[in-house]
């Protein structure tokens, strides 16, 4: 009989691999996880979207009248920041019940917990509908790894559809029902340069982009507030233009962050923005990630939530996840965001994850796998 995988030790192993994005080098993690999963009977495939930037899909089970349960998580982490760390960010040191290190909360603990649960259950579920694990690179910079993954026909075939999806992002093991979408745009204005003392001979691009920014300030999305997500939002976060004070600028741009709610189509939002800023400006889409939402009344979500310490909840997370990319290819299954890390520790100096939550998550995931595959 196979020895159980310790999710705490596996978290430590993953955290000790430096996968700061960029350059990422997530292959350190995916190679290790592939070895463990292959030994447990999973069929594994890795996909590289850039040198040493690998995502991993693992599948166990057989074609069945019921679709598999899917888990997803990423193994890249954000940079350390300028502030000094009290604990070595790649030592995965445990102090007073907390594991410190970059990625402990966001989200190597979640990946380790569902990998451990999947391996521990492998022999029992190999002849059932089974599991699909999607472990990605490049999530922190806009879900690049997941986007590349779904464009590989062989991988799409291995993934297939899923009956339900758990995203192991940090929620303190509270089962949350989704997140807003993200549509990031670059809007450019072009003009004609001239000497600053003769502005009438030029065409000032800054005036055009400033007018566009002001037009977007109070954009009406014509969208009723969502019961959990509230209203969609828009923020102009960056403005660039001009090269020196005594020249008429011939180029200027703004970067726009739109957060959509369930029920909004990004194509409709983009068309609306085009009408508001005018047809003379160029619009480039930087990130296009649809919202993710599961109704609180969903029976599977309620069943999983019943085994969580918080019980059923009616909340969403503030950040976006790979589910925005993976959910449609998986057949739009009901989705929960549920992981051991604390969301307030994500991207922080001295990031940590409470150790008990890692084993707690493993147990929650194992029960979800048992109920899905064996009940």
Q: pLDDT (tens digit, 9 = 90+) per residue, 248-279? A: 999 999 999 999 999 999 999 999 999 999 99
Catalytic residue annotation: 76, 139
Note whether 21 and 137 are same-domain residues: yes
| pLDDT, position 124 | 97
Q: Are residues 247 and 175 in the same domain?
A: no
**What CATH number corresponds to the domain at position 199?**
3.30.70.360
pLDDT at 282 over 70: yes
> Which pLDDT value is given to residue 129?
97
Number of domains making up the chain: 2
Q: Which of 244, 270, 289 is a domain's end point?
A: 289
The per-residue pLDDT of the chain, averaged, comes to 97
Question: Is residue 142 a part of any domain in this protein?
Answer: yes
| 83 & 139 share domain | yes
The pLDDT tens digits of the residues spanning 111-163 come to 999 999 999 999 999 999 999 999 999 999 999 999 999 999 999 999 999 99
- Verify that 246 and 360 share a domain, yes or no: no
Q: Which of 226, 257, 289 is the last residue of a domain?
A: 289
Residue 114 within any structural domain of the chain: yes
Q: What is the mean predicted confidence (pLDDT) over 351-369?
A: 98
Same domain, residue pair 200 and 135? no
Are 246 and 361 within one domain? no
User: In this predicted model, what pLDDT tens digit does every residue of 213-229 receive, in sequence order?
Assistant: 999 999 999 999 999 99
Same domain for 28 and 56, yes or no, is yes
Residues 243 and 296 in one domain: no
pLDDT at 1 (0 to 100) = 65
Query: Which residue range is the domain that position 317 belongs to?
Result: 7-179+291-374
- Over residues 305-331, the pLDDT tens digits come to 999 998 888 999 999 999 999 999 999
135 shares its domain with 216: no
Kindly report, residue by residue over 169-198, the tens digit of the pLDDT.
999 999 999 999 999 999 999 999 999 999
Share of the chain above pLDDT 70, in %: 100
Burial of 217 (0-12, 13-18, 19+ CB in 10 A): exposed
Q: Could you tell me if 115 and 26 lie in one domain? A: yes
**Domain C-terminal end among 272, 289, 306:** 289
Beta-carbon contacts of 133 under 8 Å, excluding residues fewer than 6 positions away, are: 37, 42, 56, 57, 58, 59, 70, 71, 72, 114, 115, 118
Q: What is the CATH number of the domain that holds 160?
A: 3.40.630.10
pLDDT of residue 141: 94
Q: Provide CB contacts within 8 A for 185, sequence distance 6+.
A: 255, 256, 258, 270, 273, 283, 284, 285, 286
Does some domain include residue 2?
no
- Per-residue pLDDT, 310: 84
């Amino acid at each position: 009989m196979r020895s159980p995988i310790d999710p705490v030790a596996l978290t430590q192993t993953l955290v000790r691999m430096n996968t700061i994005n960029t350059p990422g080098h997530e292959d350190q993690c995916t190679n290790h996880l592939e070895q463990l999963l292959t030994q447990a009977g999973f069929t594994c495939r890795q996909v590289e979207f850039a040198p040493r930037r690998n995502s991993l899909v693992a599948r166990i089970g057989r074609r069945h009248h019921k679709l598999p349960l899917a888990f997803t998580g990423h193994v890249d982490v954000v940079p350390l920041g300028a502030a000094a760390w009290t604990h070595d960010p790649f030592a995965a040191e445990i102090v007073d019940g907390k594991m410190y290190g970059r990625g402990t909360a966001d989200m190597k603990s979640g990946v380790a917990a569902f990998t451990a649960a999947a391996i521990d259950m492998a022999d029992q579920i190999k002849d059932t509908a089974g599991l699909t694990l999607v472990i990605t690179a490049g999530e922190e910079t806009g879900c690049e790894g997941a986007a590349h993954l779904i464009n590989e026909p062989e991988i799409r075939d291995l993934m297939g559809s899923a009956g339900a999806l758990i995203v192991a992002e940090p929620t303190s093991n509270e089962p949350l029902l989704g997140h807003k979408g993200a549509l990031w745009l670059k809007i450019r204005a072009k003009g004609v340069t001239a000497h600053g003392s003769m502005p009438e001979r030029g065409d000032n691009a800054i005036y055009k982009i400033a007018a566009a920014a002001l037009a977007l300030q109070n954009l009406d999305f014509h969208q009723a507030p969502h019961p959990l997500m509230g209203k969609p939002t828009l923020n102009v976060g960056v403005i660039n233009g001009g090269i020196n004070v005594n020249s008429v600028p011939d180029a200027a741009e703004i970067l726009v962050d739109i957060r959509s709610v369930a029920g909004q189509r990004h194509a409709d939002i983009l068309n609306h923005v085009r009408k508001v800023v005018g047809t003379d400006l160029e619009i480039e889409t930087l990130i296009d990630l649809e919202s993710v939402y599961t109704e609180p009344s969903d029976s599977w979500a309620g069943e999983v939530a019943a085994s969580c310490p918080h019980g059923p909840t009616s909340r969403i997370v503030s950040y976006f996840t790979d589910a925005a990319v993976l959910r449609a290819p998986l057949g739009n299954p009901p989705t929960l965001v549920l992981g051991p890390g604390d969301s307030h520790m994500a991207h922080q100096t001295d990031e940590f994850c409470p150790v008990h939550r890692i084993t707690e998550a493993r147990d929650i995931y194992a029960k979800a796998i048992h109920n899905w595959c064996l009940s």
